[in-house]
Amino acid sequence: MHRRSVLGLAAGALATPALAQSGYPDRAITMVTGFAPGGSTDVAARLLADRLGPALGPNGRVVVENRAGASGTIASDWLRYRPADGYTVMLVECSSHALIPHALQGGTRYDPINDYAHVAIVANGPLVLVASPQFPSTNAAETVSRLRAGNPEDMPYASSGVGSLPHFAGEMVAVALDRGGRFAHVPYRSGGLMVESIARGETQWGVAVLASAAGQVRDSRVRGVAVTGLQRFPAFPDIPTLAESGMPGFDIGNWYAVIAPKETPPAAVAALNRGIVDALAQPQLRERFVTAGLDPWTQPNTPTDARAFFVRESEKFRQVVQRTGVRLEL
């Protein structure tokens, strides 16, 4: 873990006098997500909104609005046309702003780097390979061996939707297994619905963002087989990594960030950044994030840092798309 950025605190502090004069915020801020309630993005948005409002001052209030569709791309495009007044922001994740722009035939209507004001990074976290209680393998190594040796037509995998990070993670599993074929893909409308399908036995296994599956894993409604990062997640220390279970070097994870319409006033962006950085420093929010399967961001976190992060992640996921060879039509 790294200390919070001194620059981030300074940016917020410098913005405070101007904001006090302008009265920002003087009404509720809408935080949009591009996914349905119950999924990891919705969880992250609601946890953050609960603490961000008070961090913005006496008039601070943040309301979450779900505008689901096409793996977050519909809401992302919609955001470009909202008033750039600091009262509409969006919590996005890597599929809509790093992955799909490279995977979609013809690209997205929006440019994730140049069409927005980048406010702050919120959290990251691993994905988790989950299986139904009836899945015949009982541990990660056995599951990897079965996926490597079995008939892919008999082992379709579920994800939270076409173009989602779990969709591509499933494709990366097939590539890493070097089995010469793909598993059939069963997409659902959200991570919550996908995990419920596995709990009911509709599908036998899948890849989910950990925050979407954490509750069902704890309740043993689904089996948490392995996480997709290089390290085990603190809230689930008994779940191994794929890298230690027969897939050396496997590493892919999700992240969440707040953006705003491009011409949002710098003072408002600075205030939002300061509020997010302060909220993420609160032990109560950090604990709730980790319990939900999210790792709160602690690295340098100014708006400039956030934009640079988007640039790096865009290149990273361009390479993921190239390796999997998957092209999308949403």
d(CA 294, CA 62): 20
**For residue 34, is it within any domain?**
yes
d(CA 92, CA 288): 19
For position 176, which CATH number holds? 3.40.190.10
pTM summary value: 0.86
d(CA 135, CA 122): 35
For position 266, which CATH number holds? 3.40.190.150
Distances (CA, A) of 224 to 2, 218, 240: 28, 9, 9
**For residue 240, is it within any domain?**
no
Neighbours of 138 (CB within 10 A): 11
Note if the bond before 296 is cis, omega within 30 degrees: no
Torsion region of 67: left, alpha or beta (phi above 0 gives left; psi -120 to 50 gives alpha): beta
What total of structural domains would you count in the chain? Answer: 2
Neighbours of 219 (CB within 10 A): 9
Q: Where are the alpha helices (H) located in 56-190, listed in sequence order?
A: 73-79, 94, 100-103, 140-149, 165-177
Structural domain for 157, as ranges = 126-227
Domain check: are 70 and 132 in the same one?
A: no
pLDDT tens-place values along the chain, 330 residues long: 333 333 333 333 333 444 444 689 999 999 999 988 888 899 999 999 999 999 999 999 999 999 998 889 999 999 999 999 999 999 999 999 999 999 999 999 999 999 999 999 999 989 999 999 999 998 999 999 999 988 888 889 999 888 899 999 999 999 999 876 789 999 998 888 999 999 999 999 999 999 889 999 999 999 999 999 999 999 999 999 999 999 999 999 999 999 999 999 999 999 999 999 999 999 999 999 999 999 999 999 999 999 999 999 999 999 999 989 999 987
Say which DSSP state 153 is in: G
Domain check: are 20 and 114 in the same one?
A: yes
Domain check: are 169 and 140 in the same one?
A: yes
**For residue 234, is it within any domain?**
no
Q: Which amino acid is located at 250 in the chain?
A: F
Domain check: are 115 and 259 in the same one?
A: yes
